Amino acid sequence: MSTSPKRKSEGPDSTKDTAKRARVEGDSDNDKAEEMPFTTTTNAAPDSQIDHKAAIAYWSSTEPTVNGVLGGYPQVSRIDLQGSSNFLAKLRRQSKHFPPGKKLGRAVDCGAGIGRVTTGFLGKVAEVVDIVEPVKSFTDEIKGKENVGEVYNVGLEEWHPQKDGVGPYDLIWNQWCLGQLTDAQLVEYLQRLPPVLSEGGWIVVKENLNNHHLNQDVFDGTDSSVTRTDKKFRQLFEEAGMKLVATEQQRGMPQGLYAVRAYALQPKGKK
């Protein structure tokens, strides 16, 4: 299921954002992260509150439009798609396997929602794009469109690409969806991807980031998801056996929203 760009937390478990800012660890372009939310701590880990049924119910009640899936921020779509296109272009300029000038063979849009990323970006850079998205009202909007391949109506925690996927995939794109997975599910999911990833291919994660002072996830009860920190993502990538080959913060996001960062991953031991 697809989440969306998120406004900084101002719920019952948090205070209003402060003016303090911090640089994202490892930020190559010297962008700064969004403001740091300070939340009260609880004994239960934020990701333990994730309820997949509640998330499905929320997204199933959301209108299958760009405005709906982006939480009322449709203007973000153009900025986001351009940033993703630029990020992939930089990866390809450094690639021996997939240099610029030719379309990728097959990609997969994970947590695809209504296919906004597929139609606006992935379908332009890949011959075929598979869809993984559990909300049927969303996939009904993309099924049968040009360049769309297999459609899997399952959540990422239930998708086993080596068994179900067509593959191999030159690009596995995950955007605004991994917050619906617990930490353990996210690690297990990433560990299932290498067998269906082409040599030299990329697993891209593009997600909201919070900058909690204690490196804590922030739980959002609206769609039953968590917003992680940059440090937390890197820890989970390491645990999953992934190496980080490139990262870039999305520019141009409206004020008041969490920062968004793209990470390009490859399994350790592969180039």
| Integer Cα distance of 68 and 50 in angstroms | 21
What's the start-to-end Cα distance of the chain, in Å?
Answer: 30
Task: Kindly give the interhelix angle for 230-239 and 183-191, rounded to the nearest 10 degrees.
Answer: 50
Contact 202, 172 (CB under 8 A): yes
Question: How many Cα atoms sit within 13 Å of 85 on the Cβ side?
Answer: 16
Return binding residues for S-adenosyl-L-methionine: 111, 116, 175
Reduce the DSSP state of residue 52 to 3 states and report it: helix
**140 CA to centre of own chain:** 21
Return binding residues: 111, 116, 175
Pair of tokens at residue 3: 């989440």
Looking at residue 143, the DSSP 8-state letter turns out to be T
Pair of tokens at residue 83: 């940033």
Buried b (16+ CB within 10 A) or exposed e, 21-55: eeebeeeeeeeebbbbbebeeeeeebbebbebeeb
CB atoms within 10 A of CB 100: 11
| Integer Cα distance of 134 and 37 in angstroms | 31
| Integer Cα distance of 220 and 16 in angstroms | 15
Q: Please name the residues in contact with 178: beta carbons below 8 A apart, sequence gap of 6 or more.
A: 111, 156, 186, 189, 205, 207
